[in-house]
A and B are shown apart, each in its own frame.
Chain A
Amino acid sequence: MRVNVTINGESRQADDVWEGESLLYVLRERLGLPGSKNACEQGECGSCTVYLDDVPVCSCLVAAGQVEGREVRTVEGLAEGDKLDRVQQSFVDAGAVQCGFCTPGLVVAAHDLLNRVENPADEEIREALAGNLCRCTGYEKILDAVRLAATRGETA
């Protein structure tokens, strides 16, 4: 089937999509957007997190056909050209990235949190990131990155 969807503000089309295919597969394999990572395909790791109509979801658990006519925003859509979003920049500055596999999903989840809560408490940060696993960092630097981003004003 064909799927029409707006991705990062641009209308896109994917063809020959299998009806049981996930949004994650369409993003990575059909539309050349490898930012969202595939690690578990069962909603456990959060590395595939994207916005669907402004709501963070695991793209591996959304059927491609469900996004017809809707809006998706991936980690690629957070930066403006070469200028990183404040959450992305804070992950770099705080050293919250090691292998980087979990980073795109964490960035989207943290981005959403800071959209909703200007100055989140540590418990709120932990709660918001509870669906994102990181194998490398031990999470402390990730918490630092989110705290740092919170001090840096508005999110785009």
Chain B
Amino acid sequence: MDFLRPSSLTEALAVKAERPDAVPIAGGTDVMVELNFDHRRPGALLDLNRVTELAEWTETDGKIRLGASVPYVRVIAELGEVLPALAMASRTVGSPQIRNRGTVGGNLGAASPAGDTHPVLLVLGAEVEAASVRGTRLIPAEEFYLGVKRNALEPDELITAVHLPAEVGPQQFAKVGTRNAMVIAVCSFALALHLDTREIRAAVGSAAPTPRRATAAEEYLGTELPWSTKASLTDSVKRRFGELVAEAASPIDDVRGSADYRKHALSVLARRTLTWAWNDFQKGERECA
């Protein structure tokens, strides 16, 4: 096995082109578990820790470009105002030690159906920036997840950043786990009210082979939300929304929860987060558009 240590992005892309078998390692919180348990024996590790370009974020014209290796602890500390749902999801990842090392780029690279950032990226309409010596492309989050632990990256590509709109409006992330800290999600849910377009986006995690949007629920809410009167939502609207979110999922039974439980929990998360997000909208705190 080789340990490859590029010190710039250009060098990293050149190395990846030459050694497509090299497994990138950023925080290592997924990769090292696989190595420690001998689940993976790659030809080489490609250490991204020295590639400083990947550890930066910038904001331009209301868009955030979040470098692939910015750890969760910094998303929480530095981006809570502009990307509240991503910060909420980051806060639920693992433990402080895991959040100090783990990255959004690594979450995308692993593409676990249970990754906490995925539903948030879907509801924000994020784009994944992938680069290779052949050039750079933007992959819509929706097209990025191909299956359990499979993503749309080519063998010579690295994830360089994620592009996200800042402050779209009220947004929420919620997750059900078997304890408070250190658990992967039994199921998770993200919701965003895009104030400029009055579009609602909802997505479920850990409840299908890939994270996915709940489009029927989004469309239903689109016709029901009293945007102009800001009236409170009726219980029946919230309940129907919850049902449609649950229907979007195709969960499995496993040790962490049954399929039925996951569907039920999702409908509860959907109702709750909708109430919180609508309250935010009524208060107009984030009405910046």
Contacts and interface: CB of A to CB of B under 8 A. Distances in A.
Contacts of B181: 127, 130-131
A146 interface: no
A151 to B, nearest CB: 23
Interface in A8-62: 18-20, 22, 41-44, 46, 49, 55-58, 60-62
Contacts, number: 91
Interface residues of B, number: 30
B98 A66 contact: no
A128 interface: yes
A65 interface: yes
A49 B97 contact: yes
A43 B97 contact: yes
A66 B24 CA distance: 12
Contacts of B25: 63, 66
A56 B180 contact: no
Interface string B147-170: 000000000000000000000000
B101 interface: yes
A1 interface: yes
A109 interface: yes
A61 B36 CA distance: 8
Nearest to A21: B35
A66 B28 contact: yes
A103 B142 CA distance: 44
B101 A65 contact: no
B67 to A, nearest CB: 17
Interface in B118-134: none
18 contacts: A1-B3, A19-B2, A19-B44, A22-B32, A22-B35, A42-B33, A42-B36, A43-B98, A44-B182, A56-B100, A57-B97, A58-B97, A61-B27, A61-B28, A109-B96, A130-B180, A131-B97, A132-B95
Interface of B: 1-3, 5, 25, 27-29, 31-33, 35-37, 41, 44-45, 47, 49, 73, 94-98, 100-101, 180-182
Closest 4 CB pairs of A and B: A131-B95, A130-B181, A65-B3, A19-B3
Interface of A: 1, 18-20, 22, 41-44, 46, 49, 55-58, 60-63, 65-66, 68, 109, 127-128, 130-132
